[in-house]
Structure 1
């Protein structure tokens, strides 16, 4: 049997696509699937996996907090983030949180297999875009941009707000109360010294942090 892969993604079509891709190989095998953060954590605890393909945007416990929790409980588990989120949004934080690679859903099948094998083998996989981000990110050169001051939870809420999600949507997705999300929003505005949501969106556009910004 090949390397046992746990695929954590809420979309059936993505999980099915990965199953089909891996089925054509001799060294990789999808051994389990999960559609939300809670199920992913439960499955990670149940057995030793050869590789975790992790999406950062799932219902329930998700995102960078889930990544950090898994890394704390299973420090040797190879984790490859496989997400629709643009590299500018989450790649740096994901790698700093313990991921060994970051792969976009836009990647072709050959690149996916290379990334999976590389990470499962204990090596990092970085696309040219992520490598450039790591080399040029302001934090590395001593500067800190306003959005770098946010905690991982705040950054997740910030990215959802500027992408058009309502506070109710965010509360439902992250299993939080609307009051808690509203409090986080206030802290985000304070830390980034912004006056309101319009300025948040303008900031995201200027710094290319929006999913809808064209390449």
Structure 2
């Protein structure tokens, strides 16, 4: 059996996924959670073979959780399952150590295949992403401005694009306002935006947030 930890902040989504996975016969959901902090807590104590993780979760977003999991448990496979477009998020997730990136529109057979492949130590890449990833992960690939942001810069970028003020971002990330302001300056420079509204417009244009 493959012991799986499931994280999605919508209970109905979790219930639907559990039913799909139960029908597989060899996948056992031994833990489920609705936020990033709970993922980290359960991953440290449960005998997990694979984590199935959404990006848009509260407390710690999926990208931060992925990064922390791979730092603490580098051999633990993490699959990302998200509504965000593959072309915008998959490359970043793979760079952070994900074993696969799937859109929530994926059919159940492919989801099960991805989980089994991750549990065996492999990497799942959908046919639609293979060529794009080969280009975006290439040494000489031309990268979009937001793809050059560090993980911490990207967290600040997403928060600014969503309208969160510097002080609140500092509180959420455990940073000083001055540090967040420094990240903001780097983000403005890298994206070419002139202010927070410009950051938000950039994020919407590239489908990084929902308008």
Q: State TM-score, norm by structure 1.
A: 0.82
Relative to 1, partners in 2 of residues 1:70 and 1:180: Cα closer, same or farther, differing over 3 Å? farther
* C-alpha distance in structure 2 between counterparts of 1:94 and 1:3, whole Å: 22
Deviation at 1:37, TM superposition (A): 0.8
- The number of aligned residues is 208
Corresponding residue for 2:113? 114
Mapped pair 1:56 → 2:55: yes
Corresponding residue for 1:166? 163
Q: State TM-score, norm by structure 2.
A: 0.84
Unaligned 5+ residue runs, structure 1?
Answer: none
Indicate conservation of the 8 Å contact 1:138/1:145, yes or no: no
Deviation at 1:139, TM superposition (A): 5.6
Deviation at 1:128, TM superposition (A): 2.1
* 1:1-215 correspondence runs (5 A): 2-137=1-136, 140-159=139-158, 161-162=160-161, 165-167=162-164, 171=168, 175-176=172-173, 179=177, 183=181, 184-204=183-203, 208-210=206-208
* C-alpha distance in structure 2 between counterparts of 1:92 and 1:77, whole Å: 19
| Residues 7-62 of structure 1: CA deviation (Å, up to 9, x unaligned) | 01111111111111011121111111011111110101003211110112211122
Indicate conservation of the 8 Å contact 2:203/2:209, yes or no: no
SS of residue paired to 1:141? coil
| Residues 48-105 of structure 1: CA deviation (Å, up to 9, x unaligned) | 2111101122111223222121112112211111112211222111111111100111
Unaligned 5+ residue runs, structure 2?
Answer: none
